[in-house]
Amino acid sequence: MTKMKAGQALAKVLESWQVDHIYGITADSINNTVDGLYQEKDKIKYIQVRHEEVGALAASADAKLTGKIGVSFGSAGPGATHLFNGLYDAKMDHAPVLAIVGQSATGVMNTSFFQEMNQDPMFVDVSVFHEQVVSAQQIPYVVDQAIRAAYAHKGPAVVIIPDDLSGQDIDFAEFKTAPIYKEQMQTKFDEATIDKVVAAIQNAKHPIMWAGVGLKGATKELVAVSEKYSLPVLSTVPATGVMPTDHPNFMGSRGRLGTKPGFETSQMADLVISVGTNYPFLRFLPDGVKVIQVNNNAADIGKQRDVDLAILGDGKGFLEELLNRKVTIAPTKFLKAARLDKQNWDKWLDTLADDDSEGLPAEAVMRTIKQHADDNAIFGADVGNNTEWAVRQLPLNKNQKFTLSSWFATMGYGLPSGLAGKLSFPDRQVFTISGDGGYAMVMQDLLTEVKYQVPVVNVVLENKVFGFIQHEKLAAKQAPYGIDLQGANWAGIAENMGAIGFTVTDQKSLSEAFDKIDELQKSGNTRPIVVDAKIKNVDPVDTSFMPLDPDQFDQATIDRFKKTYNIFGQPALSEILKDM
């Protein structure tokens, strides 16, 4: 036993869980806890953010990028409520996060003191664990249990600590129970069930596989199964990169953030094998499609759509079972047509990127990032049209990492995710892609990147509008009311905050800016960078429903859709298949 302040013991518990940085803002109701972090400052880096929301979002991004728990803190009252955006992001995306929340000293609790409030009920819905400690001796134990709960249930855990308790001396000995957090699900698959899956693939004319985040870490197996059974592969948007994005069998995603081949192959499919996902767009598949769902959570099976064959188990293990079978299917006409459909789509995006005659296209910005990104780059995407452009073009085909706020879909995620990415992987390139709407919500924390010398490349796509909402207004035939944004000199503001700023308006200035960024990175630059990309305001194609098939739609409908989204050089998948 060693005598120390409870706040320092808390920090030592974090260390035992390999936490090396923590985000937050200190205040009177959490000062003793922060002083405990000071005692362990050589092992845990305190990142002082400028808004607790950014800290909580960064903690969530840490967890998604690393698989390890992310940690943030806030003071009582407003500091606590500012954490909610990040905590709900972690809840919705099943990320293990710990939030340490300050509370007024025990002597003034329940007396209507300044900022004193009953905080525990506030966190009931968002958290997998929420406790307020009642003694100093409890603090390390409760924090340890909170972290275990966050890992076990894949979500946020909250510990509320009255400030006087964390400042008291306690006897502390490090826990003997190992900090186990990597869950290995062992599944023994029934042979007859795997036989049914193989037979279903053999009997299908247009089978596809739909991969989710449950297949992260199984890229090799996914590629091998796709090639062995001639399966076009779609991924959910959060799982972008689980199948190399440049693989000819990868079709992209279905939904508004998807691709033409992603929509068409899934729309034509007669068999869908869904592995490691509870993706909501399964419900929009045509009637009559046979669905096989593999998931390690029984509650998620059949949640989005009634399935023909339910398999409870680990996704990677399931793929390994398929690989062990002696069946091999030669490339089918459907697969070959799907590959050509994807090639046409990629060529179209590239052609859009070439044309800056009416303003800088977002596709050009994405292509330039792709050209300058290393094989292990990290990408953080905000929410909005920027997400569509990012998932359609960013290179996720080697050892890159990608993160976004997928289910909660909160704007403002981009910059915090870049901060987290660079702190967790200091030797990697980190890019964030944000719209001007999302960036403006959190731009104050560019100062955090400046202060801690975090050289993230923050790309701001300014079109002076809430573009994602603009599309919804157009589709609903509503007035474009309340969606226009005031522009700004984002590069100039960045310079004034101590960062490096570039303004780009065409392909030439865009290329020159990224060439200079390359030079800065090679010279050991430690300042964050903001690329202020003044893009033309174009509504990107909505791929959730694409009326292009002449067998299903009249020519007037097809022509109207093509004109709306400037679609050319892309025959319908059905037309490609007929020509095979």
The catalytic site residues sit at 52, 114-115, 256, 383, 468-469, 472
Alpha-helical (H) ranges within 230-288 are 260-268
Rounded CA Rg of the chain: 25
Q: Beta strand pairing status for 457-462 and 309-312?
A: unpaired
CB atoms < 10 A from the CB of 131, how many? 19
Contact (CB, 8 A) for 230 and 329: yes
Q: Beta strand pairing status for 2-5 and 169-172?
A: antiparallel
Q: Beta strand pairing status for 156-162 and 169-172?
A: unpaired
Contact (CB, 8 A) for 433 and 462: no
In the chain, the amino acid numbered 39 is: Q
Which tokens hold the place of 289?
């499609």
Question: What percent of the residues of the chain are helix, what percent strand, and what percent coil, each to the nearest 5?
Answer: 45, 20, 40
H or E element at residue 531: strand 529-534
Contact (CB, 8 A) for 130 and 123: yes
Q: Which residues of 34-52 are buried (b: 16+ CB within 10 A; e: fewer)?
A: bbbbebbeeebebbebbbb
Rounded Cα–Cα distance for residues 159 and 99 (Å):
6
In the chain, the amino acid numbered 89 is: D
Rounded Cα–Cα distance for residues 263 and 257 (Å):
10
Rounded Cα–Cα distance for residues 274 and 260 (Å):
19
Residue-by-residue DSSP string for 74-137: E-TTHHHHTTHHHHHHHHHTT--EEEEEEE--TTTTTTT-TT----GGGGTTT-SEEEE--STT
Rounded Cα–Cα distance for residues 408 and 52 (Å):
18
